């Protein structure tokens, strides 16, 4: 089976695991905790709300299901990296696949003009500061919510009216940072707090030998830049004529591993 | 480093600016909040301006070469 088909199947699995009508991940955890099989949705495990309450002490006031799901996300990110983003999140993948329909000459490569990590972590810092002022913005620019709405519409014909913030989010997520961005993952790069927190934990995990990470064997690398062109997040770059990986915005999608002609990039401990 | 710090602060200002929106009674319907989301929009404009400025400089260099 080709890499691209495997990758696509991963996102389908992500949809089955996290989104209604299946939502098997949260339903299984809920069943393990309460013995009840409940009709849950993406909102039942909302990673954004927990991320927002990471510093203000209200994280552990949330429902136990919320806390358990979030702790699993952090543990997985620490050991395996941001695999939720790279292998499972169908919301991020949808704009990446849509962006392939638009010719490259119409797309902006934001990484050329803006350094991703400071903007990404700046947004995250603002996001976790907000609850200190008794305000919550987790749902305001949520692409998971929008993805859920679109899926509901196409599957069941059910739709809710969008607030101006959600219309703006749709515009930014699908159009500006989606189809007209190189790689189609501008929203993931700049605006997703769930991705940012995972990369922060991944960057920490990379310092330990027990965690899995992307490794470039510099002796094997021929500096062909194929990985740089293939990376949808713009996380691969050339340093001293060899490929290097930026852990602060790599989502471990595996495109670089697949593109490398000499198999110099490995995902291992 | 200075550039990174500015980008960090500006990006942090985008979600933080929603404080003004909530205080101004923003209901998510355009206009009802007396445009208290302006700081966030300004932050976004600053980032866009920075991007365009860099793009113009790159273009200038290219033309010169």
Work out the average pLDDT over B46-57. Answer: 76
| pLDDT given at position B11 | 87
Do the Cβ atoms of B15 and A126 come within 8 Å?
A: yes
| pLDDT given at position B6 | 86
Judge contact between A99 and A183, C-beta under 8 A.
Answer: yes
Nearest CB partner across the interface for B15, out of A121, A137, A164:
A137
B contact test, residue of A118, A128, A163 with most B CBs within 10 A: A118
Does any CB of chain B come closer than 8 Å to the CB of residue A137?
A: yes
| pLDDT given at position A155 | 77
Work out the average pLDDT over B24-49. Answer: 64
Contacts of B7 in chain A (CB under 8 A): 114-115, 118-119, 122
Work out the average pLDDT over B47-65. Answer: 69
Closest Cα in chain A, distance from residue B65 (Å): 19
Alpha carbon of A97 to those of A3, A22, A181: distances in Å?
A: 15, 22, 12
Question: What is the Cα–Cα distance from A56 to A186, expressed in whole angstroms?
Answer: 28
| pLDDT given at position A141 | 79
Q: Is the pLDDT of residue B31 over 70?
A: no
Question: What is the Cα–Cα distance from A57 to A34, expressed in whole angstroms?
Answer: 25
3-state secondary structure of A188: helix
Do the Cβ atoms of A130 and B19 come within 8 Å?
A: yes
| pLDDT given at position A113 | 82
| pLDDT given at position A134 | 78
Closest Cα in chain A, distance from residue B29 (Å): 5
Do the Cβ atoms of B11 and A137 come within 8 Å?
A: no
| pLDDT given at position A160 | 66
Cis peptide before A21 (omega within 30 of 0): yes
Range with the lowest mean pLDDT among A239-253, B15-29, B47-61? B15-29
Does any CB of chain B come closer than 8 Å to the CB of residue A55?
A: no
- For chain A, residues with pLDDT lower than 50 are none
Nearest CB partner across the interface for B22, out of A121, A135, A166:
A135
**Alpha-helix residue ranges (DSSP H) falling in chain B:** 2-16, 18-23, 38-64
Confidence of residue B44 (pLDDT cuts 50, 70, 90): confident
Of A142, A62, A137, A24, give the one whose Cα is nearest residue B17. Answer: A137
Range with the lowest mean pLDDT among A124-133, B6-15, B27-36, B50-59? B27-36
CB-side exposure of A232: number of CA atoms within 13 Å?
28
Mean pLDDT (chain B, rounded): 70
Of A218, A181, A213, A186, give the one whose Cα is nearest residue A199. Answer: A213
Judge contact between A163 and A146, C-beta under 8 A.
Answer: no
Do the Cβ atoms of A190 and B54 come within 8 Å?
A: no
């Amino acid at each position: 089976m080709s890499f691209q088909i495997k990758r696509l199947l991963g996102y389908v699995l992500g949809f089955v695991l996290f989104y209604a009508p299946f939502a098997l991940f949260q339903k299984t955890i809920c069943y393990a905790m309460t013995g009840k099989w409940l009709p849950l949705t993406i909102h039942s495990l909302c990673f954004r709300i927990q991320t927002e309450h990471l510093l203000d002490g209200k994280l552990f006031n949330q429902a136990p299901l919320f806390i358990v799901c979030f702790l699993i996300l952090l543990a997985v990110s620490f050991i395996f990296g941001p695999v939720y983003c790279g292998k499972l999140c169908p919301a991020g993948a949808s704009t990446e696949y849509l962006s392939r329909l638009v010719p490259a000459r119409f797309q902006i490569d934001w990484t050329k003009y803006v350094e991703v990590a400071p903007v990404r972590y700046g947004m995250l810092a603002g996001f976790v500061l907000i609850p200190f002022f008794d305000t919550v913005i987790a749902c305001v620019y949520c692409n998971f919510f929008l993805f859920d709405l679109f899926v509901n519409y196409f599957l069941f014909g059910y739709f809710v009216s969008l607030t101006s913030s959600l219309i703006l989010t749709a515009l930014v997520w699908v159009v500006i940072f989606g189809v007209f961005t190189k790689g189609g993952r501008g929203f993931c790069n700049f605006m997703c707090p769930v991705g940012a927190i995972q990369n922060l934990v991944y960057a920490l995990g990379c310092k330990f030998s027990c965690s899995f990470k992307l490794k470039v064997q510099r002796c094997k690398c021929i500096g062909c830049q194929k990985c740089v062109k293939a990376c949808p997040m713009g996380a691969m770059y050339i340093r001293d004529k060899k490929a290097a990986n930026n852990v602060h915005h790599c989502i471990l999608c595996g495109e670089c591993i697949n593109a490398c002609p000499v198999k110099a990039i490995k995902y291992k401990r | 480093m200075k550039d990174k710090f500015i980008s960090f602060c500006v990006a942090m200002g985008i979600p933080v600016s929603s404080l003004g929106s909530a205080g101004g009674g923003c209901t998510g319907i355009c206009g009802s909040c007396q445009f208290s989301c302006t700081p966030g929009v300004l932050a976004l404009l600053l980032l866009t301006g920075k991007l365009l400025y860099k793009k113009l400089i790159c273009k200038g260099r290219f033309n010169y070469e």
